[in-house]
Amino acid sequence: MLLHIPRILSPEKAAEIRGRLEAADWADGRETVGPQGARVKRNHQLPDASPLKAELGQMVLDALQASPLFFAAALPLRILPPRFNRYTGGGQYGFHVDGSVMRQADGSHIRSDVSCTLFLNDPDDYDGGELIIADTYGEHEVTLPAGDALVYPSSSLHRVAPVTRGARIASFFWIQSMVRDDARRRMLFEMDTSIQKLIADGADEGATLQLTGVYHNLLRSWAET
């Protein structure tokens, strides 16, 4: 499921994070990928050991916890601490699939079910830099306002187009979902959003209660905790 989630961060909070990153010590982004990814990756990232990465990453995690839409779409069980990258001067990341298992700082691992890119500056700040995701319907090009996020299956083939003007700055991270299968997550998300609309529209209380029960019983059946 490909989903745009608006205003994970307010414009003010996105600007605050962006300002903190202006003076950051960036590292070659190829340091965090294997040989295959290194051949097509040309960007900069905050080093994993950076105290600034940890501080800003916690700000992102706090914002995610306040987003019901993010929770409904991703059904997060574990989230890899957010990372930060910058593309400039022709920087790009060719087509790739995210690794299936991600190692955390404490040596534990999480399975990557859902990928998320949180945009930290507006598309007017740069040229290029589209997040391009390929699926059976073709290629989808995405650039979003500062503070907005895109979630998509980690199994997706995707790339970042070259940035030819300015700098594209973002946070990115992976989620291990309580529901591993993307089709089941989509079904639950669509059911949840339908229930919320029915409640808002004043639909029959007994019917919405029954449908809510179906949602939770499906989640109970499919969830891994």
The 3 state secondary structure assigned to 86-110 is EEECCCEEEEECCCCEEECCCCCEE
Cα separation, 19 vs 38, in Å, equals 28
More confident residue, 23 or 177: 177
Q: What single-letter DSSP state applies at residue 124?
A: G
CB burial of 35-57 (b: ≥16 within 10 Å; e: otherwise) equals eebeeebbbbbbbeebebbeebb
Instruction: Render pLDDT for 156-185 as a digit per residue (tens, 0 to 9).
Output: 999 999 999 999 999 999 999 999 999 999
Whether the pLDDT of residue 33 is over 80: the answer is: no
Q: What single-letter DSSP state applies at residue 1?
A: -
The answer to the question of whether 96 is labelled as a binding residue is yes
Give residue 37's pLDDT. Answer: 72
Full set of structural domains in the chain with CATH: 3-177 (2.60.120.620), 182-222 (4.10.860.20)
More confident residue, 136 or 15: 15
The answer to the question of whether 4 is labelled as a binding residue is no
pTM (predicted TM-score):
0.95
Give residue 136's pLDDT. Answer: 86
